[in-house]
Amino acid sequence: MKHTISVLVENHFGVLARISGLFSGRGFNIDSLSVGETEDTTTSRITLVVNGDDIIIEQVMKQLNKLIDVIKVNDLTTDEFIDRELALIKVHANGKTRSEIMQIVDIFRGKIVDVAPSSLTVEVTGAEEKVQGMMDLLREFGIKEVVRSGKIAISRDNKAAHR
Amino acid sequence: MSILQGSQILVESLLKEKVDLIFGIPGGVVIPVFDTLFDSPIKVILARHEQGAAHAADGYARATGRVGVCLVTSGPGACNTVTGIATANMDSVPMVVITGQVTTQMIGNDAFQEADIVGITRPITKHNYLVRNVKDIARVIKEAFHIASTGRPGPVLIDLPKDIALATTEFHYPATVDIRGYKPVLEGNMKQIKRAAELINASHKAVIYGGGGVILSNASRELTQLAHKTGVPVTMSLLGLGGFPGNDKLFLGMPGMHGTRYANYALSECDLIIAVGTRFDDRVTGNVEKFAVHAKVIHIDIDPTAISKSVRVHVPIVGDAARILAKMIPLVKRVENKEWLKRIDEWKTQYPLTYTDSEAQIKPQYVVQQIYEATRGDAIITTEVGQNQMWAAQYYKFKSPRTFLSSGGLGTMGYGLPAAIGAQFGVPDKVVFDIAGDGSIQMNIQELATVVHNKLPIKVAILNNHFLGMVRQWQELFHNRRYSSTCLIDNPDFVKVAEAYGAQGIRITQKKDVRPAIEQALATPGPVILDFEVAREENVYPMVPAGAGIREMIEGLA
């Protein structure tokens, strides 16, 4: 099962190397990893998507916690959370296909961020299924290049308000 | 407050941590640090290879319980400590390794004697630091000693660039440490402790299985109390030896690949394992699928990652072993296990730990037994790795903690001699004996120079079979005696080697000379190398073949 793990770390150089090294050294698989500063500039937030059974995820959580530079580890999957991913998709486009592509982008509430004679670059943000869904539809036009940010996620706070 | 140079801050900080001894070797970028040390009260022990310095710091730490310190130069010096650091990391030894580094503006430039030692040692240290500002030195030292010695101990590396060692700032040593990501749990959850006590009280076939954590947390008194109060028998892993008296009636010896049959049978048939400060290493469990299938498992460990890593645990208790056991002891009672103890006694009688002695040849086990008797079990024994290590573990009955120093997790040949140096400095009034093989001793034999220079009365017993014995044993048993690259028939003359270094060497070829030679070595004030020509193809038994369950032991007795 896929788990989305949120890791609060010290904003020191080398911390990312410790975490990626932990995964490669112990044979855990990372599906995606994204990192950025938090509201507190002394800390960074790493969002990891990890695939594994309960025993593996338990070890992953414990091993992350064991790192001195790791402040807090949270398996968001155990509760409600919001996740988002950003993708930039460069797709083949010409006079005939351009408007059809723009319609699809519109449906997914994406944005055209660059236009060239033979291509369009699309920005889309959303949950993994949305990004995937849009990519599936754009595939028939010929995707030239995709860059995905990896997932970022945050836990839901006031649950009642979202229900 | 005074303005000091980085190297002075380093040394002052070490003094604040009550360091009186450093093992190391100088080199280009650490000259300023060694220069500062020249006038300091800290004694610097010059090793002859940085691996030796690291193992010596490790041996000092294991023998005393204090943090061992090692100081080397950048590049090759730092890289040479890697095996020593990995050894300490696997066996949870508190150690601080200080490496010099090229100047900060040269880092990443492939400078002379530059190596990214922080990158190299990241997976084999508990934590490591590259100091990039002279103002950080004091805090980093404070944190390093704290991290190395608390929680599950381990090695911490500090990489110190030359320009930082020469820069100046105000010296202020922090009084406390606050690392928000590092707060080891010590106390143990009382509810879990009660649950564990209930399981113990209801058990009929329980076994206590202790490991190196018993020694690290100084819990050997509590463990012994628990065993004596409940009447539950005890097995100790290689690193746990000495944590429970080796001559106690309840002692089952070591479990696992070369453990006793009765320890392995007891673990296989028990209804409850009380695991204390141990990590169910694969050399202990054998095939995990077949390990202790009937047993519930209580696991006390300070490292949560050790729990449920390889064996499913029913009652995990995270915390310091000594504190948890102290809380548990009042809650337990003498268990009803007469039948169980009877069964164990039958196993002990039926399958004793033994070997076929010989008059014509010197059996290595006999040598270990004679060392045990001659030292009355009071020596600190270090070992190399392989057959020598297993025979030492099997036939020397360790009475007290911190008397058996051996590379368990990493299995580092060449550990024993430098570790003996560290142990002898740490515990000057004890006999320190390195039980070695002819293969291993050559992996750090240069440290004989350190031994002789410091007039250390270390004794080395080489169980010389002219083989890399343990590998040869596997080749005999599983590879049709094809002794590929294991024959050491061209060994040097170890007596001459000893003499060349200025130590005494004695060769023993007759069984009758074994004991007198040991006595002579013990009566000699200086270092002595005893070269025992032992039976060449003697095997370590019993043995669990790789992949088998620990019940499935093979025996070599005729």
CATH number at B287 reads 3.40.50.1220
Domain membership flag for residue B550: no
The 10s digit of each residue's pLDDT in B51-67 is: 999 999 999 999 999 99
How long a stretch of residues is chain B?
558
**How large is the angle between the packed helices B387-395 and B364-374, nearest 10 degrees?**
50
Q: How would you class B530 by CB atoms within 10 Å of its CB: exposed for 0-12, middle for 13-18, buried for 19 or more?
A: buried
Domain membership flag for residue B316: yes
The 10s digit of each residue's pLDDT in B9-44 is: 999 999 999 999 999 999 999 999 999 999 999 999
> Given CB atoms, is B181 within the 8 Å cutoff of chain A?
yes
Residue type, B468: L
Share of chain B above pLDDT 90, in %: 98
B23/B148 same-domain check: yes
Domain membership flag for residue B476: yes
The 10s digit of each residue's pLDDT in A51-72 is: 999 999 999 999 999 999 999 9
Contact between B169 and B9 (Cβ < 8 Å): yes
Q: Examine the pLDDT at B164 and tell me if it is beyond 50.
A: yes
- Tell me the C-alpha to C-alpha distance, in Å, between residue B109 and each of A94, B102, B106, B117, B555: 48, 10, 5, 14, 57
Give the integer Cα–Cα distance in Å for B22 and B37.
Answer: 10
Q: Which of B120-124, B326-330, B461-465, B548-552 has the lowest mean pLDDT?
A: B548-552
Please give the pLDDT value at position B557: 53
The CB density around residue B430, as the number of other CB atoms within 10 Å, is: 17
B486/B528 same-domain check: yes
Where a domain ends, among B350, B378, B397? B350
Total domains in the fold of chain B: 3
Left if phi > 0, otherwise alpha if psi is -120 to 50, otherwise beta: which for B201? Answer: alpha
Partner residues linked to A85 by β-bridges: A126
> Given CB atoms, is B180 within the 8 Å cutoff of chain A?
yes
Domain membership flag for residue B527: yes
Please list the active-site residues of B. 50, 112-113, 162, 470
The 10s digit of each residue's pLDDT in B389-448 is: 999 999 999 999 999 999 999 999 999 999 999 999 999 999 999 999 999 999 999 999
Pairing of strands B528-533, B504-508: parallel
Contact between B451 and B497 (Cβ < 8 Å): no
pLDDT band at B165 (very low <50, low <70, confident <90, very high): very high
Nearest of B239, B227, B329, B226 to residue B284 by alpha carbon = B239
Quote the Cα angle for B489-B492-B493, to 5°.
110
CB-based burial, A11-35: b 16+ in 10 Å, e otherwise:
eeebbeebbeebbeeeebebebbbb
Q: Are residues B123 and A21, on separate chains, in Cβ contact within 8 Å? A: yes
Distance from CA of A53 to the nearest CA of B (A): 13
Please give the pLDDT value at position B177: 96
pLDDT band at A163 (very low <50, low <70, confident <90, very high): very low
Token pair 């031994």 in the structure block, residue: B451
Q: Are residues B122 and A17, on separate chains, in Cβ contact within 8 Å? A: yes
Q: Are residues A68 and B179, on separate chains, in Cβ contact within 8 Å? A: yes
Q: Which of A9, A17, A63 sits opposite B119 (nearest CB)?
A: A17
Q: Examine the pLDDT at B73 and tell me if it is beyond 50.
A: yes
Q: Are residues A59 and B180, on separate chains, in Cβ contact within 8 Å? A: no
Give me the residues of A, 70-129, that contact B with CB < 8 A.
Answer: 70-71
Residues 6+ apart with CB under 8 A from B46: B24, B25, B450, B453
Nearest of B160, B124, B120 to residue B29 by alpha carbon = B160
B345/B372 same-domain check: no
| DSSP-derived secondary structure for B293-333 | TT-EEEEEES-GGGTTSSS--SEEEES-HHHHHHHHGGG--
B430/B315 same-domain check: no
Share of chain A above pLDDT 90, in %: 88
Give me the residues of A, 47-66, that contact B with CB < 8 A.
Answer: 55, 58-59, 62-63, 65-66
The CB density around residue B499, as the number of other CB atoms within 10 Å, is: 13
Q: Are residues B304 and A55, on separate chains, in Cβ contact within 8 Å? A: no
Q: Are residues B147 and A63, on separate chains, in Cβ contact within 8 Å? A: no
Nearest of A119, A117, A89 to residue A105 by alpha carbon = A89
Mean pLDDT along residues A43-50 = 96
Reduced to 3 states (helix: H, G, I; strand: E, B; else coil), residue A34 is strand
Distance from CA of B69 to the nearest CA of A (A): 20
Q: Are residues A66 and B119, on separate chains, in Cβ contact within 8 Å? A: no
**SS3 string of B196-224?**
HHHHHHHCCCEEEEECHHHHHCCCHHHHH
Please give the pLDDT value at position B93: 98
Contact between B378 and B430 (Cβ < 8 Å): yes
Q: Are residues A59 and B304, on separate chains, in Cβ contact within 8 Å? A: no
The CB density around residue B387, as the number of other CB atoms within 10 Å, is: 27
Residue B98, token pair as written in the block: 């200080």
B379/B523 same-domain check: yes
Mean pLDDT along residues B488-492 = 96
Domain membership flag for residue B233: yes
Pairing of strands B206-210, B155-161: unpaired
Mean pLDDT along residues B177-188 = 96
Please give the pLDDT value at position A113: 96
CB-based burial, B44-63: b 16+ in 10 Å, e otherwise:
bbbbbbbbbbbbbbbbbbbb
> Given CB atoms, is B513 within the 8 Å cutoff of chain A?
no
Domain membership flag for residue B485: yes
Q: Euclidean distance between the first and final Cα of chain A, in Å?
A: 25
The domain of B396 spans: 364-533
pLDDT band at A13 (very low <50, low <70, confident <90, very high): confident
Cis peptide bond prior to B542, omega within 30° of 0: yes
Domain membership flag for residue B334: yes
- Tell me the C-alpha to C-alpha distance, in Å, between residue A137 and each of A89, A102, A132, B21, B451: 12, 12, 9, 69, 75
Distance from CA of A26 to the nearest CA of B (A): 10
B409/B346 same-domain check: no
Q: Examine the pLDDT at B110 and tell me if it is beyond 50.
A: yes
Contact between B534 and B435 (Cβ < 8 Å): no
Choosing among A23, A55, A68, A74, which should be mutated to test the B contact, i.e. which has the most B CBs within 10 A? A68
Contacts of B305 in chain A (CB under 8 A): 59, 62-63, 66
Please give the pLDDT value at position A107: 93
Phi, psi dihedral angles at B319 (to 5 degrees): 160, -175
Please give the pLDDT value at position B558: 40
User: Whole-model pTM?
Assistant: 0.95
Q: Which of B13-17, B309-313, B372-376, B463-467 has the lowest mean pLDDT?
A: B309-313
Q: Examine the pLDDT at B450 and tell me if it is beyond 70.
A: yes
CATH of the domain at B382: 3.40.50.970
B508/B377 same-domain check: yes
B345/B370 same-domain check: no
Distance from CA of A36 to the nearest CA of B (A): 18
Residue A62, token pair as written in the block: 């414990």
Q: Which residue has the higher pLDDT, A103 or B557?
A: A103
Give the integer Cα–Cα distance in Å for B84 and B230.
Answer: 39
The 10s digit of each residue's pLDDT in B314-363 is: 999 999 999 999 999 999 999 999 999 999 999 999 999 999 999 999 99
Please tell me which residue of chain B has the smallest CA distance to A8: B181
Contact between B46 and B24 (Cβ < 8 Å): yes
Token pair 């990391």 in the structure block, residue: B89
> Given CB atoms, is A24 within the 8 Å cutoff of chain B?
no
Q: Are residues B182 and A68, on separate chains, in Cβ contact within 8 Å? A: yes
B247/B289 same-domain check: yes
Domain membership flag for residue B246: yes
B88/B235 same-domain check: no
The 10s digit of each residue's pLDDT in B184-243 is: 999 999 999 999 999 999 999 999 999 999 999 999 999 999 999 999 999 999 999 999
Distance from CA of B77 to the nearest CA of A (A): 22
Contacts of A69 in chain B (CB under 8 A): 181
Please give the pLDDT value at position A159: 59
Partner residues linked to B528 by β-bridges: B459, B504
B346/B368 same-domain check: no
Mean pLDDT along residues B268-277 = 97
B381/B518 same-domain check: yes
> Given CB atoms, is B130 within the 8 Å cutoff of chain A?
yes
pLDDT band at B2 (very low <50, low <70, confident <90, very high): confident
Give the integer Cα–Cα distance in Å for B153 and B302.
Answer: 10
Residue B476, token pair as written in the block: 């005999």
Q: Which of A14, A62, A68 sits opposite B304 (nearest CB)?
A: A62
Give me the residues of B, 303-322, that contact A with CB < 8 A.
Answer: 303-305, 308-309
Please give the pLDDT value at position B555: 83
Contacts of A70 in chain B (CB under 8 A): 181
Residue A119, token pair as written in the block: 């291509």
Where a domain ends, among B299, B317, B350? B350
The CB density around residue B271, as the number of other CB atoms within 10 Å, is: 17
Residue type, B399: K
Residues 6+ apart with CB under 8 A from B470: B385, B386, B387, B390, B540
- Mean pLDDT over the full length of chain B: 97
Q: Examine the pLDDT at A161 and tell me if it is beyond 80.
A: no
Give the integer Cα–Cα distance in Å for B56 and B18.
Answer: 18
Give the integer Cα–Cα distance in Å for B484 and B369.
Answer: 31
Q: Which long-range contacts (CB under 8 A, 24 or more apart) does B539-543 make?
A: B539/B387, B539/B473, B539/B476, B539/B477, B540/B258, B540/B387, B540/B390, B540/B391, B540/B394, B540/B470, B540/B473, B541/B258, B541/B355, B542/B258, B542/B259, B542/B260, B542/B261, B542/B264, B542/B351, B542/B353, B543/B257, B543/B258, B543/B477
